């Protein structure tokens, strides 16, 4: 289990803004297939993030930190 948050206030993937991921919120992410991460957004939708998307858009937050 990882804890991640957005590196920038808005996240665009293929030109589409992911509106249900809040910039100031930390999300729990679980490991998926081949290094992908599974994140559940604020609407309850599961988003699958590739390694490239993780590097470009998210920072990993260690447990216990803000």
3-class SS string, 8-45: CCCCEECCEECCCCCCCCCEEEEECHHHCEEEECCCCC
pLDDT digits (tens, 9 = 90+) for 6-64: 888 877 776 666 778 888 899 999 998 888 999 998 889 888 888 888 888 888 887 65
CATH placement of domain 2-61? 2.30.30
Give the CA count within 13 Å in the CB-facing half-sphere of 13.
16
- This prediction has a pTM of 0.73
């Amino acid at each position: 289990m990882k804890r991640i948050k957005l590196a920038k206030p808005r996240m665009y993937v293929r030109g589409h803004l992911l509106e249900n991921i809040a910039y100031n919120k930390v999300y729990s992410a679980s490991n998926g297939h081949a290094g992908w991460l599974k994140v559940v957004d604020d609407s309850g939708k599961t988003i699958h993030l590739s390694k490239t998307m993780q590097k470009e858009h998210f920072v990993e937050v260690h447990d216990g930190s803000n």
